[in-house]
Chain A
Amino acid sequence: MAEWRRRLSDPALEDALVELGRQVAYPPVRDLAAGVRERLEERGARQAPRLRAARKWLLLAAVLLLALAAALVLSPGARATLSRWLAVPGVVFIAHPAQPAPTPAPVGTALGLGMPVSLDAARHAVPYRVLVPALAGFRVPDEVYLGDVPRQVALIYRARSALPAAGGSGVGLLLTEFQGSLDPERAFYFKGLEPGTTLRHVTVDGGQGYWLSGHPHLFFYAAPGQSIQAENIRLATNTLLWQHGNLTLRLESALDLDRALRVAESVR
């Protein structure tokens, strides 16, 4: 056999590859047409409301263009950058931060969570004990970020089987923690709750928690100095918020409530 491997001629290798290709255990053939059609129709049905939304985007685009024009006038560097963006006159292509990178680059950098650090470094940098889920598969985060205000630590778990990507970013689960209170009487209200987003009161480890499903973008909390702060929900996806001691924890993922609770209740 060793001889065969060393003395294989080009045509023999090619023949062997063709023969090998016939032996591959390909997935069984299933008709994809219905699934594809369903998704194409779904999109057609949604197009009407999208036209209304389009006006908002047009306005935003106009503001962006204006800002770009200003930068263009003011800086030659910006002009050079812009010429790279502008492939077609009048059309601006802006790199979407959520596009998967060609190498397995960190998936969390686009979320504005702060500086990428190791878990140990994060533990040394904040005045509180960093909590990590003890549930199998979540004990070691794939990425850790340290935010400056308010000393927030973010743990990222990449999407994988059984942990679907949330928000198209390659992030399967994002767990953030910081010092702050979720006192609903005073500090915690969902003024920014988008239509289609629902808030449910849930129990996390015996304490009060909040389950935001749909596409939430914002929540409010009381910072240690008692001022009210707004915080972005990064992935605009199902979000579980709860309090653990003097920490506020936030779990964003595409997981359903039961599975999110299992991860949440395992933190220690």
Chain B
Amino acid sequence: LAEEAALVEAARGGDLDACDALVRRHQLIAVRTAYLICGSEDEAEDAAQDAFVKAFRSLSRFRPGAPFRPWLLRIAANEARNRRRAEGRRASLSIRLAAATGEGTAPSPEAATLAGERHRLLMIALNQLREEDRLIITLRYFLDLGEEEMATALGCRRGTVKSRLSRALARLRAVLAAGTGEGGEDHG
């Protein structure tokens, strides 16, 4: 963490090597966050790149000593959201699942099929949620962000993260129980 703070300090002073180092540290999660919002590989990458550029350009407004990552993710999330809106794809976001590979943990082919079917249903349900619900769920469970980080990334108080997450989970559960979307994934 001390190393990170030193990098941020150096980047603030215009050190481009420090910027490089910060990009390499955080680009994976920045691209993934953007991808979970805009659902497009190219746009996720663009959004992440823009987020880094904007973050570095506005480092002067950044509170010294504060963690860089959640702040970056918030900018990346905004960038991704703007791109998605510009695309006009409001209800049809779909995060894609990787084709089942042999490296799953399922003990048997039957179990693998069952797990695959559950993932499919869960993904369909998730894709049907409102953007903010889906975002909070994916930040928590897909990207494994802590509450503090989520609060900064979402731009809300830490105290409200928990309640928003549990409301989002309740809605996910409701969609899942209603079983809508089971007929197919094409609801664009």
* Contacts from A to B (Cβ < 8 Å): 1-2, 4-6, 8, 10, 13-14, 16-21, 23-33, 35-37, 39-41, 43-44, 100, 104, 142, 158-161, 165, 170, 172
Residue on A nearest B117 in the bound complex, by CB: A1
**Residues from 1 to 30 in B contacting A, C-beta threshold 8 Å:** 14, 16, 19-20, 23-24, 27-28, 30
* Pairwise interchain contact B142-A20, C-beta atoms closer than 8 A: yes
Interface string of B150-179 (1 = CB under 8 A from A): 000000000000000000010011001101
Residues in chain B near residue A18, CB distance under 8 A: 141-142, 144
* Pairwise interchain contact A104-B88, C-beta atoms closer than 8 A: yes
Residues in chain B near residue A100, CB distance under 8 A: 82, 85-86
B61, chain A: closest CB distance, angstroms: 12
Residues in chain A near residue B19, CB distance under 8 A: 33, 36-37, 40
Known contacts being A16-B118, A25-B97, A32-B45, is A5 close to B179, with CB within 8 Å? yes
* Pairwise interchain contact B138-A36, C-beta atoms closer than 8 A: no
* Pairwise interchain contact A4-B118, C-beta atoms closer than 8 A: yes
* Pairwise interchain contact A20-B16, C-beta atoms closer than 8 A: no
Does B32 have its Cβ within 8 Å of any Cβ on chain A?
yes
Known contacts being A36-B56, A41-B16, is A25 close to B88, with CB within 8 Å? no
* Bound CA–CA A37/B35 (angstroms): 22
* Pairwise interchain contact B143-A21, C-beta atoms closer than 8 A: yes
Which size class do B's interface residues fall under?
A: 35 or more
Interface string of B78-119 (1 = CB under 8 A from A): 000010011110100001111100000000000000010111
* Bound CA–CA A170/B19 (angstroms): 29
A84, chain B: closest CB distance, angstroms: 19
Known: A20-B122, A40-B16. 13 other contacts (CB 8 A): A16-B119, A20-B123, A21-B144, A24-B95, A24-B142, A27-B31, A27-B41, A29-B28, A33-B27, A36-B49, A37-B19, A104-B90, A159-B87
Q: Give the 5 A-B CB pairs with smallest separation, nearest first.
A: A21-B142, A17-B141, A27-B41, A25-B98, A33-B23
* Pairwise interchain contact A170-B141, C-beta atoms closer than 8 A: no
* Contacts from B to A (Cβ < 8 Å): 14, 16, 19-20, 23-24, 27-28, 30-32, 35-36, 40-45, 48-49, 52-53, 56-57, 82, 85-88, 90, 95-99, 115, 117-119, 121-123, 126, 137-138, 141-144, 169, 172-173, 176-177, 179
* Bound CA–CA A21/B53 (angstroms): 28
* Pairwise interchain contact B138-A21, C-beta atoms closer than 8 A: yes
* Bound CA–CA A21/B27 (angstroms): 18
Known contacts being A29-B28, A40-B56, A160-B86, is A24 close to B98, with CB within 8 Å? yes
* Pairwise interchain contact B27-A31, C-beta atoms closer than 8 A: yes
Residue on B nearest A23 in the bound complex, by CB: B97
Known contacts being A24-B95, A32-B27, is A39 close to B87, with CB within 8 Å? no
Residue on A nearest B17 in the bound complex, by CB: A37
Residues in chain B near residue A41, CB distance under 8 A: 16
* Pairwise interchain contact A25-B96, C-beta atoms closer than 8 A: yes
Residues in chain B near residue A35, CB distance under 8 A: 49
Residues in chain A near residue B118, CB distance under 8 A: 1, 4, 16
Residues in chain B near residue A159, CB distance under 8 A: 86-87
* Bound CA–CA A41/B121 (angstroms): 46
* Pairwise interchain contact A23-B176, C-beta atoms closer than 8 A: no
